[in-house]
Structure 1
């Protein structure tokens, strides 16, 4: 089970780029340097990296603070979902993903990958966490690291 383009358009009606209702996103990350095939990049942190690096690592979309100018090098077809608070936008995405998970039978679930915390906060474990655990850790981590965009 993945988030689809149409799912995100419902959450973030202010968007640009290619329109493909059947497009599935495979990863969500807040770090540009992470390999992110069919990924959604969310620059949450001061050290998240640049959009160009995220695109080079496979990002095909971004959740972007509507008050921050999009880099001029951004390809026209690159999908951008605008919001006024990146952390709240991420929470909305995770809530929708969890709801979709609950609606499916266990054997039908193909997991989407979320990479939202730096490797150091994963204690060397590169596995993705259960989303509820991850959200608790993310909220704690954000108190120290969130760059404040959209607040």
Structure 2
């Protein structure tokens, strides 16, 4: 079960490029240097080298609406715009968790890619989707509790 253009268009209606609701994203990557086949690239970990991300397989990007998209970006390349990339990532992850929890058959899944192995060892951090999902869930629950008072 992959994320699709249609899924992301619901979250981020401001887009440019081709509008293909059936386009599937096999990866979500926050670094342009990671191989990201059929990926959606989010320039969170760096200033955002879209050309490198495209070279590594990105077929779309989530972009800060305040930043100019590079002029070399292909006209058909889908770009979703948000005012907060980190919140955008959180929204994508929450949508995906909801989507896979409703799925009857879980054969293919989107991979979330955030850093290379060397950085993981140096940072002693985990980027496991299950751990990230749990952390996002806890943060979401805490925010709900705070809103209720």
How far off is 1:132 after superposition? 3.9
Q: Paired residue for 2:86?
A: 87
TM-score with structure 2 setting the length: 0.80
Q: Distance in 1 between matches of 2:43 and 2:72?
A: 16
Q: Secondary structure at the match of 1:63?
A: strand
Q: Distance in 2 between matches of 1:93 and 1:58?
A: 19
Deviations 1:73-99 (A, max 9, x none): 110011100000000000000000000
Q: Distance in 1 between matches of 2:76 and 2:17?
A: 4
Deviations 1:13-33 (A, max 9, x none): 000111111111000001111
Q: Paired residue for 2:121?
A: 123
Q: Give the count of matched residue pairs.
A: 133
Deviations 1:102-130 (A, max 9, x none): 1013x534121101234345339xxx954
Q: Paired residue for 2:73?
A: 74
Q: Distance in 1 between matches of 2:114 and 2:127?
A: 10
Return closer, same or farther for 1:16/1:49 CA change in 2, 3 Å cut-off: closer
Q: Distance in 2 between matches of 1:108 and 1:39?
A: 19
Contact 2:94/2:133 (8 A) holds in 1:
no
Q: Secondary structure at the match of 2:40?
A: strand
Please give the root-mean-square deviation of Cα atoms over the aligned residues, in Å.
2.3
Q: Distance in 2 between matches of 1:36 and 1:10?
A: 23
> Which stretches in structure 1 are left out of the alignment for 5+ residues?
139-151
The structure with the larger Rg is 2
